[in-house]
Structure 1
Amino acid sequence: MGSKASKNLSKGTKPPSTESVAVLQPFKPLTKPLTYPSLVSVVEFICFGRRKQLYAKCPTIRKLEERLPYHLERVEIQTIGPSYIILDLENFAIGSYLFSEDTISMWCSENWVERSTGTSLYEATEKFALYNLSRPGTTIKTLETKFTPKCILNCIPLSIENYVVECNDWDKWIIRTTRPVKTLQTDFIIRHDTIKYAKHVTVTRPPHLPI
């Protein structure tokens, strides 16, 4: 019994040529770094906690990170007296969880660190908030405050889409914004532009209490 090649020759046909068969080369990973505009776009829109981790581990991007704004989905600020203040920015939190006036705690990506501060907890958290939230161009989709501390009131006007206010004094919760908020949820009403120009306002104060 003859081979296929001999049968093809007997029929006047040629066997398939192997000259055009491509040889696959091993894949080489890309080593070209990001261009500067691409690096700016990537760093600016990384979540807050991840940016802080990159800032600590990559000295080459520190100057860039320090001048870029943040784009935060949710920020929560709670304060009850000088020994309890929590600033929660997505997957990063800083404040006092142990009701200690000289110990500050930081949480990021399931890592917990405690440090003693040479200053008061309030001052340390205020400096952290002012340093990070007062960057021009920073946007916050939802801001929730409970007993609003001065650290957020002293920030530059913020770009906030949704604003939730709970348990605040009559004159100590107004935050300056770059534009009217889209939705405002509060436990009382006062005469102020923040309420006047909000597109949607919800009052959560119990009906048996005066507004």
Structure 2
Amino acid sequence: MKLFKDEDGCLEVLAKSATILGVLFGVWAYFNTIHPVFEKEMELQGLRGESQVLASNLNELKASVAALRQDKSALLNSVGLLKGRQKDLLEEIDEKERDLRNMTASFENASDAAVLNKLQFYSNKLTSAHHLAVVAGKGETFDVFAVSKEILADNIPDKADEHARKAYSYFERYVQDRSGEEIKGSRVTEFAVSLFFDYKIGILERRMTSSQ
């Protein structure tokens, strides 16, 4: 079918040409104005969908955290119910603390005593954590190195406290030097107590050497 006929006049040719140009302009305008806006809107809808998914995942994560906190609270409550079994263990800890305090008090050197007091604190922390794990039925899976690193992370000393920094560095090296060993059961108590006594023995050896 011909768009232009032989008998068409100038006006008819102009009218048809204007119609064709109008259609072409409409197509051009669509792909350069309306179509890009439509694509942008589709992208925005996609981003909104992703945002909703992320929000849903965040809510699930918050729910998981809340559940973990409830589990932690239940565990702490269950430990509280085991006070009968803990009594003997706590008395033993108190006795060892008294012995360690007495030993520490016998040192004349105030600097060494300050370091030993801090090492005693670390030793007690380890011993208490192990006994609580035993009471909770988790003694076999108790990781003394992981707990030691947690104690170190929670007790970073002030830069101005020379004795605390000295004890901290000694405890850090003590853990690193034994990191390849397998320490379970009664060896955990030995590990904790030796933290204090090994340092004390080193002091005595230095004093003996200096007195010769």
TM-score normalised by L of structure 2 = 0.22
Larger radius of gyration: 2
User: In proportion to residue count, which structure has more strand?
Assistant: 1
